[in-house]
Amino acid sequence: MSHTEELVAEPLATQSKQPARSYAAKEASGALGPWNFERRIPGPHDVQVDILFCGVCHTDLHFVRNDWGMSMYPLVPGHEIVGRVTAIGDHVTKFKEGDLVGIGCLVDTCRECDNCKQDLEQYCMGGATYTYSAPEKKEIGFTYGGYSNKIVCDENFILNVSDKLPLEKVAPLLCAGITTYSPLKNWKIGAGHKVAILGLGGLGHMGVKFAAAFGAEVTVLSTTASKEADAKRLGAHKFVLTSNEEQVKAVQNSFDFILDTVSAEHDYNFYLSMLKTKGAMVCVGLPNQPAVVPAFTLVFQGRNLAGSLIGGIAETQEMLDYCAANNITSDVEVIDIKDINKAYVRMEKSDVKYRFVIDMATL
C-alpha cells in the first residue's frame, strides 16, 4: 500500500452511519410509505433503541401535511416512542443494554439557558431539538422520529419505562400524557378542586385520568353527547354537553381550572365564563387561527388564561413513575404500520379511542 493510499480514509458518512427503516412522507401531499435511511452510530453519550411501539399524535398529521410550514421531507413522524436499549456509547451511565425506555418530543436542547437549567427543556431559549423534522444540533440534517425500527438519542433525553404496564399503552404518555400532567401539576390540582376537561380525545382522555387521580372533581365539556358514558368510565364525575344551554348555564363561574385540549377553532370566551374568580384556563391544543379574548371576561373575575407545552425531562420521568405506581395508561388501538394512512383519516374524524399506537414489529 502506498503512502498516498494510506491517507485516504473511509468517508465519515459511512463510518458514522447505520441503515434504518421507517415509514415516511416524501412530500406534503403524499401518503406515508416505506423509506430506508441512515441513523448515526451511537456517540459517547448516545443510546440506541429498538422501537417496539410508537403512538400516533395529531401533531404527526400536521407535520406530514406541513400545516405549520416547518416540515422537512422525507418526514418520519412519531414522538411517543417506547423501546428497548440495544447499544450504548462509552460514556453512557444512565442506561444499559436491555433497558426499557421511552423518548418523547425532545431529543436535544442547548442545556445552558435558564430554562434548561431549571428542568424546563421544552422551553429551551437556544431552541429545543424536537424528535422529528427539526435541525440537528451537532450534525448536518434533521431528525427522524419513531415510525422507525430504531432511534439513536442522547441519554439525557431518554426516560426509564417500567415493565409493570403494557408498553403499547405507555407510548402515548410520552406526549399526550405529559402534555396534560404538567399543567395539572403546575396549578397544583388536587382534592377540593373543580376541574373541567375541554375535549375528550387523545389529550382529553389523559387529562380526565390524571385530574381524577389527583383527587379533583372532574367534568368533561364536550360537543358530543355520546361521549358521556366514556367520560365517566375514564373517571369523570360530571359531563356537560356544551350545546345544551341549561347545562352550560349551570356551570357558569364554577370551575377552578379548565384544561383546554381542543385544537379546532373555538370560542375561548364561552369557556372562560365557566371559571370561578381567579380560576385558570390552560390551553394545550393549537388551533390554526388566533382567537378573540375579551379582556372583560378575564379582568372582572381575575381569571387566568395560559398555555402549556409538554413537560421537561425530569417531569416526564416523574409522570411515567406516577403512572407505573398508580396503574395509569392511555386507551389505545394498536395498528400495523401499513394501516397508518387509514388511521390518519380516522384520527381526523376523532374516530379513535383514544390513541392509535403502531406495533413496530409490523414494519
Pick the closer one to Zn ion by CB: 89 or 126.
126
Give me the sign of the Cα torsion angle 160, 166, 168, 173. Answer: negative
Query: Are 80 and 54 in contact, with CB atoms under 8 Å apart?
Result: yes
Question: How many other C-beta atoms can be found within 10 angstroms of the C-beta atom of residue 46?
Answer: 22
Among residues 109, 133, 219, 242, the one that binds Zn ion under rule CB under 5 A: 109
Pick the closer one to Zn ion by CB: 174 or 251.
174
Number of residues that bind Zn ion (CB under 5 A): 9
Pick the closer one to Zn ion by CB: 116 or 220.
116
Q: Return the HEC string of 119-181.
A: CCHHHCCCCCEECCCCECCCCCCECCCCCECEEEEEHHHCEECCCCCCHHHHHHHHCHHHHHH
Q: How far is the CB of 171 from Zn ion (least distance, A)?
A: 11
| Ranges within 73-102 binding Zn ion (CB under 5 A) | none
Pick the closer one to Zn ion by CB: 46 or 80.
80
Question: How many other C-beta atoms can be found within 10 angstroms of the C-beta atom of residue 277?
Answer: 10
Q: How far is the CB of 123 from Zn ion (least distance, A)?
A: 8
Q: How far is the CB of 335 from Zn ion (least distance, A)?
A: 17
Sole window of 19-27, 107-115, 148-156, 241-249 interacting with Zn ion (rule: CB under 5 A): 107-115
Q: How far is CA 220 from each of CA 153, 217, 283, 286, rounded to the nearest angstrom? A: 37, 10, 15, 19
Q: How far is the CB of 110 from Zn ion (least distance, A)?
A: 3
Using CB under 5 A as the binding rule, whether residue 283 contacts Zn ion is answered as no
Closest CA to 240 of 230, 229, 225, 258: 225
List, in sequence order, every residue forming a beta bridge with 346; answer none if it has no partner: none
Among residues 28, 41, 87, 110, the one that binds Zn ion under rule CB under 5 A: 110
Using CB under 5 A as the binding rule, whether residue 59 contacts Zn ion is answered as yes
Q: How far is the CB of 104 from Zn ion (least distance, A)?
A: 8
Q: How far is the CB of 124 from Zn ion (least distance, A)?
A: 3
Beta-sheet strands, E only, within the chain: 17-25, 32-40, 46-56, 81-88, 100-103, 106-108, 129-130, 150-154, 159-160, 194-198, 217-222, 238-241, 255-260, 275-283, 304-307, 332-335, 355-359
Q: How far is the CB of 103 from Zn ion (least distance, A)?
A: 12
Pick the closer one to Zn ion by CB: 72 or 113.
113
List, in sequence order, every residue forming a beta bridge with 53; answer none if it has no partner: 82, 359
For 100, phi and psi rounded to 5 degrees?
-85, 130
- The single residue listed with the C-alpha cell 399526550 is 176
Q: How far is the CB of 57 from Zn ion (least distance, A)?
A: 3
Sole window of 51-59, 164-172, 293-301, 347-355 interacting with Zn ion (rule: CB under 5 A): 51-59
Sole window of 7-15, 108-116, 236-244, 296-304 interacting with Zn ion (rule: CB under 5 A): 108-116
Local structure of residue 75 (DSSP, 8 states) = B
Pick the closer one to Zn ion by CB: 38 or 67.
67
Using CB under 5 A as the binding rule, whether residue 293 contacts Zn ion is answered as no
C-alpha 160/C-alpha 174 separation (Å) is 11
| Ranges within 112-171 binding Zn ion (CB under 5 A) | 113, 116, 124, 126
Q: Which residues bind Zn ion (CB under 5 A)?
A: 57, 59, 109-110, 113, 116, 124, 126, 175
